[in-house]
Structures are given as C-alpha cells and as structure tokens.
Amino acid sequence: MLGRVLPAMLVATGTLTLWRASAQKPPAAPPVAAGEKADGLFVATIPAPGAKDDSGRPASATMDPVAFFVNGRIRSCDMLNPKATDDPIPKPVFDTLNRVYTPGHEYPFSFAGAPWGATRTTGSLMESDPLDHSGSFSWKAEPATHIPEKGLTGTIWTGAPLTYSHPAVSATASADERNTFLEAASKAYADHHFSAKPNSIHTGTIVKRQLRAGHSALIANTIVQLAADKPRTYYSYRLFLVVEETNGIYATVLESYHRVTAYVDADAPLPKLGELVDEEAQIDREKFADNVPLFKGEPDAIITEHQYYEDWNYSLYRSVGGSYRPIYTGCGGGV
C-alpha cells in the first residue's frame, strides 16, 4: 500500500473477533468494458510539506480511482462475481487507468466543491504495487491557497469541466456547532433503535463544508461502544453523519450506519472507563474524503473512504430529494 497510514484508534486492548452488520448498499456497477471511453473520478491526495515515502524520497501527490463514468453511467474497477481463477480487475480497467496516468495529462484539482489548481500527471504507481491502482501528479499551476501542514485531500475529474456554485469552505466546527452535531447524532442513533446521549458519542474532527451555496454542512464519523451482557463482549455502533443548515436549523441529510460485536480475548485487558476497544482488524471505518459538484445543477456529491485493516474502497453519494443516497461503492485497493 503506497503512502497510506490508517488512523489509530484510541486504545488497543488485545485481539478481537468481530461481526459486521450489512449497511445500505447501492446496486453493483459493472467494470469498464473493452472499447469504452470512460471519464474518471479520483480522490487526490497532496502530502504534507516535506513528507517522505517508504524509501525516504519526497512523497508523491497521488490520485486513486473512485469510479468511472461512461455516457453518464457508473462503471467500477472490479469484476462482478469473479471466479476464483479470474483477475478481479479486468484489463480494460488497467488500460483506462494507464491512459489517465500517462505523464503530461492535465486535469483540474477540486477541493471542498471549488476549483483549487491545475495538475499534470507524472505516471502510474501500479507497477510497483499491483494492488494499488494509484497514479501520481504534480502541480501544473500552484494553487493560490497554502497547502495545510497535514496535506490536502481533494478530487480530480477527467471529464467535461465541472460547474462550481460556491467557494471552498473547509473548517473545523466550533464548540456550538459540535454540540449541534452531537445532538443530531444522538437523534440519528435513536432512529436505529439505539439510545446514545450526546456526551457518550465519540468523534474526531467535525468538518464544516458547503454542499450548496449559502448552506453550511457538518460532517464526521461517530462511534459509541457499550458492554454487552456476555462477558468480554462489546457492541460498537458507527454512524457517518452529515447535517446541513437551512435558515439556522440543521437537519440530517446523510447517515451511514454500521454495527459490530467485538469479543476481547481472555488474556487481554478490558478497556477502562471512556476508552474504546480497538477494532483495528475488522471494522469498516467510513471517513469523509471530499465533496465535488459532479452532477450539474445539484448539490455537491459526497465521496467517502471505507478503511478496513489492509484495504479500502470508496462510496459516492448523490443528493436525491433533499437527502443523500449511496449510488456506488467500489474501487480502492489493498495490500
């Protein structure tokens, strides 16, 4: 896996066995077929200034495929129902990626639903890691805005120019906005027949964005863990949540819910009060990647990344009737 470090959980407490409930899934999309001219949607990652790769060289800016589009229809990276003897990534997908990654191609870079800079591809990274489908790029024109110290995750789209409707808004939620978000999360958990008070909900940074002009949105992944009646057993409830403001009132527009049961080994210490059981090897951590105006005249589409133990993929959400629905999950890679 190139240039990827999965975020650590708060506390590690031994080996776990987990069961993951099925989340809402969109229909499976077929892969790019031979002869199809596909446009690509990529998550583009700018490393932190001065970052190094595993060999000690300056880290490359990378673009990782999310989905392809052929005449407006979604195409995936993976075969549908491959046989054990099949390569799950068909040759037309590799051909499409190699075409996109050919050095010298120029594509716009979007961040937070707005234009950010112009890029130029520098090559494919697939030969060095056949399970990583990324390419690399550099800036053709440096963005006017400073790259944050932690780096930047945005979007590259290879198709027709996008129509942008709002400036790039990306900030951390204020204390009041954080409280508003946790209240909404508590209500969302209740909709799944699980009671969680706002102060019992764990979350990292709550991101503030605009998905359409004039409306703020708060975005984060949350988790609540509870001890089960059975000894050394815990329930983990995860909710990726987006709430959007209209006339000063926030309403939930996207929620993606996952539940697992975690079993702590007999020789492992139990978590202390306020600590989380480490779910490193099994759980689907869905985190926000970027928002992009992929569909003209609509609120921005939302891209999320599902992180597992040694692999990842992406989901694409589209606004339908005022709320977001998953329209695709796929691509990504692993080790």
Q: What is the pLDDT of residues 173-197, one digit of tens each?
A: 999 999 999 999 999 999 988 899 9
pLDDT at residue 144 in the model? 61
For residues 202 and 244, membership in a common domain is answered with yes
Determine the Cα–Cα distance for residues 3 and 7; give it in Å rounded to an integer: 13
Pick from 5-14, 121-130, 213-222: least confident: 5-14
The H or E element containing residue 184 is: helix 175-191
**Over the stretch 30-87, which tens digit does the pLDDT of each residue have?**
999 999 999 999 999 999 888 888 788 888 999 999 999 999 999 998 877 766 666 6
Instruction: Give this prediction's pTM.
Output: 0.88
**Does the residue 80 lie in any domain?**
yes
- Which domain range does residue 287 map to? 16-24+168-334
The H or E element containing residue 274 is: none
For residues 104 and 194, membership in a common domain is answered with no
**What are the two backbone dihedrals, phi and then psi, of residue 164, each rounded to the nearest 5 degrees?**
-95, 140
**What are the two backbone dihedrals, phi and then psi, of residue 165, each rounded to the nearest 5 degrees?**
-120, -5
pLDDT bucket at 105, cuts 50 / 70 / 90? very high
308 pLDDT exceeds 90?
no
For residues 81 and 144, membership in a common domain is answered with yes
311 pLDDT exceeds 90?
no
**Does the residue 5 lie in any domain?**
no
For residues 109 and 197, membership in a common domain is answered with no
For residues 189 and 280, membership in a common domain is answered with yes
**Does the residue 150 lie in any domain?**
yes
> 137, 157, 177 — which closes off a domain?
157
Which residues are CB-contacts of 94 (< 8 A; sequence separation ≥ 6)?
Answer: 126
**Over the stretch 260-292, which tens digit does the pLDDT of each residue have?**
888 888 888 888 877 887 665 456 689 999 999
What are the tokens at 215?
Answer: 């409306």
Determine the Cα–Cα distance for residues 239 and 262; give it in Å rounded to an integer: 17
For residues 79 and 144, membership in a common domain is answered with yes
